[in-house]
Amino acid sequence: MGAGEEEHVRLTHAKYYLEAVRTVMEGAPVAERGASLEGLRQDYPEIRAAWLHAVDAGANDLLKSTTEPLCYFLYVRSMMREGVEIFGTTIENAALRRHFASIRANFLVHQGDVEAAGVLASSVLTAEEGPELARAHANHVLGNLAHIRGDFEQADARYNAAFDIRESIGDLRGCCFASLSLAALHLLFSRRETARHHIKRGYRLARQIGEPFGMLASHVYAGDLAATENRVEDAQDNYEMSLRLEDSAPHSQFRAMLHRRLGTLFVLRGDPGSALRHHEEAFDLARELGDQRTAAHALIEIGKDWRLVGNIDRALQNLLRGVRFSMTLGIQSCLQRGLLELSQVALMRGDVGGARRLVSVLEDADLGELRTDYEALLVQLAGGESASFAPVTITDLLNELIAEAETDTLKL
């Protein structure tokens, strides 16, 4: 095979696999989307090779037409590391280079590299020229970073800027995701009516374009809204609908998050046995994904569930693991909650000295909302009534993002 013929074969290969991604992301029926996405995931080594060859060959038209579909495929399958690699490819075309940089910044946020994400996004917005989609992605990244910092005004402005750009060019999928980010932001700051508006808009867009992940996320946030309004049954219905939708748009991180939320609801209902099943499912998924943050939180929750069920040995085992994870990751809120739970377990085992030592570690800590639980434990250690810890709420789960720093079935 001559060099020219070999190049033709490689370019044909690139077109086949990259167009396959576009076909699934833009045209696969909702009922078939899950199987189609799984097929793409299994073909990812071929897709990666196709992309790298298209870049090497300077097949800019092919790259331009498949950049967004590839971005969303990787996102909805939680393939964040792959996204950072793929869109870190060096390319000569200036417009594509900025487009790649803006998408890579999005994936870096999800990987936790906020500094690099901010630098990339800012460079896209300060450039004299660049595609509108790149500017939309960059604004969304800066919205994410402000969201993480707890800066409502800046996050709201950036998400809305991203939405406006996407709306002006007819990018309905991007509008859907911008709406859902706005919903999450407004929920975090207890702006319930505007959150309700953004959830409805995101859901309508998801239905319009047949985007299962958008429908799934809409039900998550509708559940969060219901929970903050003490509509526990509506919250549970929305979370369970999200789990059913996840079968059509597999996203293990969202499934783990949903099981944590359902576990929280069952704790609030006084059913630690059911809570335990959901928290253990969340931990298993997090461990499979390598999501150590979620795993740490889930272990503390599992330990508390076992304590409430009455199995002190299992409670101790899981709490110790959760505390070790939290110390390694530096998640102070999770570590503090774990130490308080271990103190309770020590008291149940009759080890008053051990409980005192654990509590003493927290003496000078900034405990925030855990201060009440800490003081109740001090009263118990002084001979007063038994401490009763406040349960974790959905609002607490929403606040973790900052502390550690998507209408008919929505039941709004």
Q: Which domain holds residue 329?
A: 251-405+407-412
**pLDDT tier for residue 405 given thresholds of 50, 70 and 90:** very low
394-403 helix and 132-149 helix, angle to the nearest 10 degrees:
110
Average pLDDT rounded to a whole number, residues 251-277 = 89
**pLDDT tier for residue 2 given thresholds of 50, 70 and 90:** low
Q: What is the pLDDT of residues 349-366, one digit of tens each?
A: 999 899 899 888 888 888
**pLDDT tier for residue 408 given thresholds of 50, 70 and 90:** very low
- Report how far apart the first and last C-alpha atoms of the chain are (Å, whole number): 63
Q: What is the pLDDT of residues 50-108, one digit of tens each?
A: 999 999 999 999 999 999 999 999 988 888 889 999 999 999 999 999 999 999 999 99
Residue 172 included in any domain: no
- At 76 the pLDDT is 84
CATH of the domain at 394: 1.25.40.10
Contact by Cβ (8 Å): 118, 146: no
- Residue showing tokens 């319930």: 192
> Which has more confidence, 135 or 326?
135
- At 362 the pLDDT is 86
> Which has more confidence, 77 or 124?
124
Whether the pLDDT of residue 333 is over 50: the answer is yes
Any alpha helices (H) in 129-191, and if so which ranges? 132-149, 152-168, 172-188
Residue 227 included in any domain: no
Average pLDDT rounded to a whole number, residues 169-182 = 95
Residue 391 included in any domain: yes
Residue 351 included in any domain: yes
Question: Which structure tokens are listed for 361?
Answer: 């570690």
Whether the pLDDT of residue 380 is over 90: the answer is no
Q: CB under 8 Å to 10, separation ≥6 — which residues?
A: 53, 57
Q: CB under 8 Å to 356, separation ≥6 — which residues?
A: 381
Concatenating the DSSP letter of every residue in 293-357 gives HHHHHHHHHHHHHHHHHT-HHHHHHHHHHHHHHHHHHT-HHHHHHHHHHHHHHHHHTT-HHHHHH
Q: What is the pLDDT of residues 176-226, one digit of tens each?
A: 999 999 999 999 888 999 999 999 999 999 999 888 889 999 999 999 999
Amino acid identity for residue 352 in this structure: V
Residue 297 included in any domain: yes
Separation of alpha carbons 296 and 88, rounded Å: 30
Q: What is the pLDDT of residues 65-79, one digit of tens each?
A: 999 999 999 988 888
Average pLDDT rounded to a whole number, residues 16-30 = 87
Question: Which structure tokens are listed for 204?
Answer: 């309508």
- At 406 the pLDDT is 37
Q: Return the ∠ at Cα 10 (arms to 98 and 22), rounded to 5°.
A: 55
**pLDDT tier for residue 247 given thresholds of 50, 70 and 90:** confident
Residue 342 included in any domain: yes
Describe the chain by its helix, strand, coil percentages, rounded to 5: 80, 0, 20
Least confident of 111-120, 166-175, 196-205, 231-240: 111-120
Average pLDDT in the chain: 88
Separation of alpha carbons 105 and 123, rounded Å: 10
- At 410 the pLDDT is 52
Whether the pLDDT of residue 345 is over 70: the answer is yes
Count of domains forming the chain? 1
